[in-house]
């Protein structure tokens, strides 16, 4: 039996799912709920593995982990609707996610920050990409690092190399995320003015939100 993924033909067997065929042939499909150690259990819960069925099946977006192969099935893993759908899924998942990235043990190797980079989402702080927690966060070493309040997607280029984050991807405009970030500064003994002064170099709107949150949180 043969199916077509992204205009390329792949051999497959009766009973396989599209995700298995894609994985076996090195076609990238992101998943969060699929566990290769327990491949029988397929909750189809994260909805990140969606593909667009173009021919030979029910047309539209379907989760590839539960989509059985059929002769003449033609799917796309990178069409515009797929991209938009996945982007929305990541945003929804993030809205439910406890984002205390600075204290999280997967920081520096976080699947969410990877997805944010891939789907161009401003949703996580530099801390989620920064591996320094293991050797000691720059803030706890007395360096004013803007990582906790700055949007990621740079793969923490500077902090990985031991330099403080200057906040060049701009200060986050999301109040909830800023609250988590400010908690990091509270322990590090920087004054409100010092943080705002550093944040103003690359941000304008974000700093306004930051000031508001600082007042609400009673940050000094």
Partner 1 sequence: MKEININVEHLTRVEGHGNIILNARNGKVEKVMWEVSEAPRLFEAFLRGKPYHQLAQITSRICGICSIGHTLASLKATEAAMGIEISQQSQLLRRLAIHGENMQSHILHLGYLISPDLFGTGSVVPLVRTHTDVVLAVVKLHRLANEFSEVVCGRTTHPTNLIPGGFYKTPSPLKLKEYRQKLLDLVGTAETVAGIILDNAGALPDFTRETEFIALTAKDEYALYDGVIGSTDAGTYPVEEYASVVNEFVVPQSTAKYCKNKREAFMVGALARFNLNHDKLSPLAKKWAEKFGLKPICHNPFMNNVAQLVEFVHSIEDSVSLIDRLLEDYKDEPRPEITPKAGRGVGAVDVPRGILFHDYTYDKEGICKQANCVIPTNQNHNNIQHDFEAFAPQLLDKPEKEIELNLEMLVRAYDPCISCSTHFLNVEWKR
Binding site for partner 1 (CB under 8 A): 157-158, 161-164, 166, 168, 197-198, 201
**DSSP states of 95-120:** HTS---GGG-TTTTS-HHHHHHHHTT
Cβ closest to partner 1, residue 81 vs residue 162: 162
Q: How far is the CB of 211 from partner 1 (least distance, A)?
A: 17
Q: Round to whole Å and give the CA distance between 172 and 181.
A: 10
Cβ closest to partner 1, residue 163 vs residue 205: 163
Q: Round to whole Å and give the CA distance between 82 and 33.
A: 18
Cβ closest to partner 1, residue 67 vs residue 165: 165
CA nearest to 159, candidates 98, 113, 120: 113
Residue 95 tokens read as: 């809205």
Q: How far is the CB of 158 from partner 1 (least distance, A)?
A: 5
Q: How far is the CB of 164 from partner 1 (least distance, A)?
A: 8
Cβ closest to partner 1, residue 57 vs residue 167: 167
CA nearest to 85, candidates 45, 52, 123, 110: 52
Q: How far is the CB of 142 from partner 1 (least distance, A)?
A: 11
């Amino acid at each position: 039996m043969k199916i077509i993924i992204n205009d390329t033909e792949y051999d497959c067997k009766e009973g396989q799912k599209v995700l298995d065929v894609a994985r076996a042939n090195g076609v990238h499909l992101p998943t969060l709920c699929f566990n290769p150690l327990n491949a029988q259990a397929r909750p189809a819960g994260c909805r990140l593995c969606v593909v667009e069925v173009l021919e030979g099946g029910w047309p539209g977006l379907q989760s590839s982990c539960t989509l059985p192969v059929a002769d003449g099935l033609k799917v796309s893993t990178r069409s515009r609707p797929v991209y938009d759908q996945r982007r929305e899924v990541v945003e929804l998942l993030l809205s439910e996610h406890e984002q205390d990235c600075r204290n999280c043990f997967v920081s520096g190797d976080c699947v969410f920050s990877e997805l944010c980079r891939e789907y161009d989402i401003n949703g996580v702080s530099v801390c989620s990409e920064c591996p320094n927690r293991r050797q000691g966060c720059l803030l706890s070493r007395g360096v004013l690092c803007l990582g906790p309040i700055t949007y990621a997607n740079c793969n923490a280029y500077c902090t990985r190399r031991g330099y403080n984050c200057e906040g060049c991807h701009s200060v986050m405009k999301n109040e909830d995320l800023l609250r988590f970030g400010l908690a990091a500064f509270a322990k590090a003994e920087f004054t409100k003015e010092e943080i705002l002064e550093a944040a103003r170099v690359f941000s304008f709107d974000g700093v306004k939100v930051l000031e508001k949150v600082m007042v609400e949180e009673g940050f000094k």
